[in-house]
Amino acid sequence: MSDLKGVLVATLTPFTPGGREIDLDWVPRHLAYLSARGADAVVPCGTNGEGPSLNVAEHKALIDTVLAHKGTLGVVAGTGFASLTDTIEVSRYATERGADGVLIVPPFYFKSLSLRGLFEYYATVIRALPPEVRVLLYNIPKYSGVEITDALVDGLLQAFPRQLYGIKDTSGRPEQSAHYIEKFPALRIYSGGDDLVLSALRFGAAGAVTGVGNVVPHMVKAVQQAYATGGDAERAQKRLSQVKDIFRRYPEYAALKLAVSLATGLPRVGVRPPIEELTPEQGAALEKELRPVLSEG
């Protein structure tokens, strides 16, 4: 299994116009681009991959395609559903076909969940998986509405010390990542915000799960390398944050897909409703903003 560290790109899911089907032929060239530009691993079917909009069969097809064309990239598959049985099915599928880990978001429909209920959800999933599985918990309360608490992690670590591997923290609060790192030294903690790559490194994060890395994985890698070698990591982080700010001004998933097309020459692909596409005016404005970024090489 790959050593999951460094730059983990939360890969986009390429849809045909209108979002009706996944363009699986697009995926291998994107993976090759990411590998050549500094990515260490990919995370398909996550938030940037519009995972909650994919059904079970689509998860499996996308995971199969990524695993078949990953090259040297590690693969952590997003396998969390609101449905317990769907989470088990896709997590088992990904693990048995060779994924290096599974990233499981909390069940995101019911809110105000009890600790007992949430523990039993995760425990039931883990018990159903092969013993070699590496499970990463996904803390993204802005979307899931469910926080990954210390009590939950403590309980799962006690019950499944071999299988529980890490936490992806997309809370947007650097102090939360720092807390996980200090509280749970046995786990690998990954930052989920492109603005927070450097701050998480300073706390001891294992890596960054990045959305902007779909386009500029080398810029995320530059932050990590500068930090490791005593270089100007602040400058590298500032540049990465400036690029992130460009995408914040547009419907972000559609903007990232246009940017990948501009950077790689791949066909432009769509998003799936309810995610919105760029208007023609937005597309033209974004392309103008991205030209200096992409010309940096």
Q: What are the catalytic residues? A: 47, 109, 138, 168
Map the chain to HEC letters.
CCCCCEEEECCCCCECHHHCCECHHHHHHHHHHHHHCCCCEECCCCCCCCHHHCCHHHHHHHHHHHHHCCCCCEEEEECCCCCHHHHHHHHHHHHHCCCCEEEECCCCCCCCCCHHHHHHHHHHHHHCCCCCCCEEEEECHHHHCCCCCHHHHHHHHHHCCCCEEEEEECCCCHHHHHHHHHHCCCCEEEECCHHHHHHHHHHCCCEEEECHHHCCHHHHHHHHHHHHHCCCHHHHHHHHHHHHHHHHCCCHHHHHHHHHHHHHCCCCCECCCCCCCCCHHHHHHHHHHHHHHHHCC
Contact assessment for residue 4 and residue 38, using Cβ atoms and an 8 Å cutoff: no
Q: Residue 265: count other Cβ atoms within 10 Å of its Cβ.
A: 9
